[in-house]
Amino acid sequence: MHTLTVAAPSHSYPIFIGQNLLAGLAGHIRPYIGKKAAVITNETVAPLYLAAVQTALDELGTEHFAVILPDGEQFKNWQSLNHIYDKLLENRAERGTTLIALGGGVIGDTAGFAAATYQRGVAVLQIPTTLLAQVDSSVGGKTGVNHPQGKNLIGAFHQPQAVLIDTATLATLPPREFAAGMAEVVKYGLINDPGFFAWLEANRDGIRAHDPALLAEMIAHCCANKAAIVAADEREQGERALLNYGHTFGHALEALTHYNRWKHGEAVAIGSIIATRLGVILGRVSAADAARTAALFAAFDLPATVPADITTAAILDKMQLDKKTRGGTLRLVLPQHFCASGIDSGVPAATIRAAIDACRT
Ligand code: NAD
Ligand code: GLY
């Protein structure tokens, strides 16, 4: 088992990573569970993993109940949140109650925000079951729900008591969801870690085959990187924004296709390839390293080109809505060197246009 610490200024907490951790769950979560527990999950994850969590809570003698939400990003909204509050009140959940978020990023964000706000804040334990949630969303305390006008517009920072990652849960994850998570994994290499990028290249067959030891090592590496960034910049005043590598382009692609053509990670893969190509045009990245980047995303079954039916002008237009835009000036996370990113503002539109066009087939 890998054990890491997230030393966030507001609260320090452990991440436990290993194969089959759900089997011995009671021992791992004993210090982090209050008098009562509410397990928040969804209709897909409940039949797979809820019983293991309930067994652990029974072993601990903790009173518990489950809240099972419908599955999907469209249910990351105030109605689901209100349903959780209703169930907490119905079950007389007091301040000492611990919420357990069991599922992917949608459940983690929604349950995390319920915990941040119920009775002005109760404890939450994150048990992420998608690769994306295991390497990114369960760590760092960003919680929230969507608003009809945009994703993640309502939220709070609320760090968990602990994060427990059972890599065995990835065995039931649909392959496309695994691939989407790999986009965020590759991102950590592109942000600041050339050694990890090379490690992913060297181990790609083992990762694709879900070798348990490799998966645990890979997830631990990503969590350690994120933990260091969160410890340095919990509230995203600076370097935490680097975690959005490729996301400004990716979000524009997702919005233009009404969030139904790509998984988020798939759009991030294309966005990361555009950002790296921009690095080539700015003379910071070699063409060979940009080709390695596209090849690595493709090796993990991720798309690597901008499709012909989406115009460059439309992408540029949507990018103006990015949350990092300040005073109308677009700020982009871009390579300063290969696998060393920073924030640039004032990159000419013609240069951005050229990078997008260079990523077409
Ligand atoms: P998701 O939560 O929708 O999960 C994807 C699908 O996999 C769902 O159908 C889910 O039910 C299913 N699933 C989950 N675990 C499974 C398992 N082990 N076996 C079989 N099926 C399983 O999507 P996601 O990609 O995990 O998360 C996306 C969300 O995360 C978005 O809402 C995004 O905004 C958010 N996010 C948050 C942060 C953060 O820092 N808080 C970071 C990145 C993304
Ligand atoms: N996933 C971006 C962040 O946690 O800041």
List, for residues 4-47, the tens digit of each pLDDT value.
999 999 999 999 999 999 999 999 999 999 889 999 999 999 99
Cα four-point dihedral sign 189, 194, 197, 203: negative
- Residue by residue, what is the 3-state secondary structure of 37-74? EEEEEECCCHHHHHHHHHHHHHHHCCEEEEEEECCCHH
Closest residue CA from atom 28 of ligand 1: 105
Among the residues of the chain, which ranges form H helices?
Answer: 25-29, 51-60, 78-90, 105-117, 131-132, 175-192, 194-202, 204-208, 212-232, 247-256, 264-281, 287-299, 312-319, 349-357
DSSP β-bridge partners for residue 5: 14
Q: What is the pLDDT of residue 100?
A: 98
Q: What is the pLDDT of residue 91?
A: 98
CA of 336 to the centre of ligand 1 (A): 30
Closest residue CA from atom 3 of ligand 2: 243
**Mean pLDDT along residues 48-69:** 98
Q: Is 135 in the pocket of ligand 2 (CB under 6 A)?
A: no
The residue behind tokens 């945009």 is 150
Average per-residue pLDDT for the chain: 96
CA of 240 to the centre of ligand 2 (A): 7
Question: From the CA of 102, which ligand is nearest?
Answer: 1
List, for residues 168-214, the tens digit of each pLDDT value.
999 999 999 999 999 999 999 999 999 999 999 999 999 999 999 99
**Mean pLDDT along residues 79-95:** 97
**Mean pLDDT along residues 224-246:** 97
Give the whole-number percent of the chain exceeding pLDDT 70. Answer: 98
Using CB atoms within 10 Å of the CB of residue 125, give its burial: 0 to 12 exposed, 13 to 18 middle, 19+ buried: buried
Q: What is the pLDDT of residue 320?
A: 82
CB-based contacts of 109, cutoff 8 Å, min separation 6: 76, 137, 142, 143, 144, 145, 152, 155
Q: What is the pLDDT of residue 77?
A: 96
59 confidence band (pLDDT: 50, 70, 90): very high
Distances (CA, A) of 67 to 84, 127, 158, 302, 305: 7, 15, 20, 33, 40
What is the identity of the amino acid at 33?
A: I
Q: Is 73 in the pocket of ligand 1 (CB under 6 A)?
A: yes
**Mean pLDDT along residues 115-125:** 98
Q: Is 44 in the pocket of ligand 1 (CB under 6 A)?
A: yes
List, for residues 309-328, the tens digit of each pLDDT value.
999 999 999 988 766 667 77
Q: 199 is written with which tokens?
A: 């490690």
Closest residue CA from atom 4 of ligand 1: 104
CA of 33 to the centre of ligand 2 (A): 25
Measured CA to CA, the distance from residue 49 to residue 44 in angstroms comes to 9
Q: Is 303 in the pocket of ligand 1 (CB under 6 A)?
A: no
Q: What is the pLDDT of residue 125?
A: 98
Q: Is 247 in the pocket of ligand 2 (CB under 6 A)?
A: no
Q: Is 109 in the pocket of ligand 2 (CB under 6 A)?
A: no
Using CB atoms within 10 Å of the CB of residue 239, give its burial: 0 to 12 exposed, 13 to 18 middle, 19+ buried: middle
Identify the DSSP state of 136: I
346 confidence band (pLDDT: 50, 70, 90): confident
Q: Is 240 in the pocket of ligand 2 (CB under 6 A)?
A: yes
Measured CA to CA, the distance from residue 208 to residue 218 in angstroms comes to 12
Q: Is 243 in the pocket of ligand 2 (CB under 6 A)?
A: yes
Question: From the CA of 232, which ligand is nearest?
Answer: 2
The catalytic residue positions are 120, 142, 184, 226, 236, 240, 244, 247, 251, 264
Query: Could you identify the atom of ligand 2 that is nearest to the CA of residue 243?
Result: 2
Q: What is the pLDDT of residue 322?
A: 66
Closest residue CA from atom 22 of ligand 1: 173
Mutate which of 113, 130, 131, 142 for ligand 2? The one with the most ligand atoms within 8 Å of its CB, which is 142
**Mean pLDDT along residues 344-350:** 92
More confident: 324 or 345: 345
Identify the CA nearest to 25 among candidates 217, 169, 215: 169
**Mean pLDDT along residues 264-275:** 97
